[in-house]
Amino acid sequence: MIRTPQRWRRLDPDTGRYRRLSRNQNTGAGCGRACAVLGSVLVVVVAAGVPDPTVLYRVRDGAYAADLLIAAVVKFDLFTWLTAHGPVTSSDLRAGLGLAERPADVLLTYCAALGLVDRDLAAHDRVSVTELGRHHLVAGSSFDLRAYYKSLAERPAVGELAAVLRTDDQAAWASAKPGDDGVEPDWSSRLEDEAFAQRITAAMDARGAFLAPALAAAVVDVPVTALLDVGGSSGIYAAAVIAGRPSVRAAVFERPPVDAAARTLLDARGLSDRVDVVTGDMFTDPLPRGFDVHLYSQVLHDWDAQRVEQLLAASFAALPPGGVLVDHDAHVAADKRGPLPVAEYSVLLMHSTPGKCWSVAELTAMAGCVGFVDVEHRTAAGDRGVLLARKPG
């Protein structure tokens, strides 16, 4: 069984050796880590004086959250309905308001994180309005704010999110309109365009500068000989994990044209001799064998349950006995009541992809269903976490 270590190690850039740290110094937001390229080697450094950018991640990742609440209030009058009919199960709520399952789940998680509803998964996902919601978002209250929210009902994203709630069909990435520069609603299809693929790869690479070293610290005790970064974009996470492990090799598994963008970035960093790029489609091609750790860094949140299970099953088949699956992502708590920044990020994913931020309980169940054991969750930086699972043997 993989166990959470009581102490971690951090690479000291002055001595080239690891320094022992207590766990509370080395996990979570505010860890003060960054990636830097010194010569041709990507190393984990202690970025003295570098402010924690978690608040900036939250602003970007939560960009659609307010629009979802406006849609719930203005388009569905959620809290008035729930006051009249509740407490109800989430399935009855969906039937009563005409909501699709995935977006309704994201909405309820967000509202629970805001303190507007109480959600009890143990009681068949029973939902009820809290005093905050009852006083301020229900018809007839002396402090009813619904008219205040209605003043923003014409925001484009409000209409887009209302449509997603009803149909479960994703909207266009960043609310781009079909026909604008050949834009298609499906963000995944847009990755076939080289310019869009380069732009998204650069965006994900920028996000990883702070997050990747924190991931590496969170899995520093996990043995690895060869790491496969599935859907690994620029390869920044794989590079961080192997930075302090000179004998370990890694490969990024990516489809065209993202694979070309990854090769360019890795070559520019002088890492092409340690991190290979293998071209393939993770849904249609078998995952390469010969790797004892599979990493999914902020990949599973882009996909629905069926495809998440497909990826987990593919990793289980390709990993050797004792191999480890690492899912680095923003994870909803098992009770689906937060945390708020992750619930807000899940709204963006619900809007623009077939996915959402999966809960720790959901991922644990899916991993167990395909055969993984010893599932464990750890905290990383920037509201992200690491879920580990082992193939028996």
Average pLDDT over residues 296-321: 98
The residue count of the chain comes to 393
Question: What is the DSSP track for 236-285?
Answer: HHHHHHHTT-TT-EEEEEE-TTHHHHHHHHHHHTT-TTTEEEEE--TTTS
Structure tokens belonging to residue 207: 């996000």
pLDDT bucket at 10, cuts 50 / 70 / 90: very low
* Residue 32 φ/ψ region, left for φ over 0, alpha for ψ in the -120 to 50 degree band, beta for the rest: left
pLDDT, position 17: 34
pTM summary value: 0.86
Return mean pLDDT, the chain.
Answer: 87
Lowest average pLDDT, out of 37-46, 79-88, 239-248, goes to 37-46
Average pLDDT over residues 144-154: 98
Model confidence at 34: pLDDT above 50:
no
pLDDT bucket at 21, cuts 50 / 70 / 90: very low
pLDDT, position 179: 57
Report the percent of the chain where pLDDT is more than 90. 77
Model confidence at 41: pLDDT above 90:
no
Average pLDDT over residues 258-278: 93
> Residue 181 carries which DSSP code?
G
Q: CB-based contacts of 130: which residues, under 8 Å, 6+ apart?
A: 115, 116, 117, 118
pLDDT, position 5: 34
pLDDT, position 182: 53
Side-by-side strand order, sheet with 293-297: 275-279, 249-254, 226-230, 293-297, 324-329, 385-390, 373-379
Average pLDDT over residues 130-145: 98
Model confidence at 47: pLDDT above 50:
no
Chain CA centroid to CA 86, Å: 31
> Which residues is 249 bridged to in the sheet?
226
Measured between alpha carbons, how far is 35 from 42 in angstroms, rounded to an integer? 7
pLDDT, position 36: 39
pLDDT, position 254: 96
Model confidence at 8: pLDDT above 60:
no
pLDDT bucket at 29, cuts 50 / 70 / 90: very low
Average pLDDT over residues 228-253: 96
Average pLDDT over residues 31-38: 36
- Report yes or no: 264 and 252 within 8 Å, Cβ to Cβ: no
pLDDT, position 185: 56
Model confidence at 22: pLDDT above 80:
no
pLDDT, position 192: 78
pLDDT, position 178: 64
Report the percent of the chain where pLDDT is more than 70. 85
pLDDT, position 281: 97
Average pLDDT over residues 233-249: 95
Which comes out higher in pLDDT, residue 155 or 45? Answer: 155
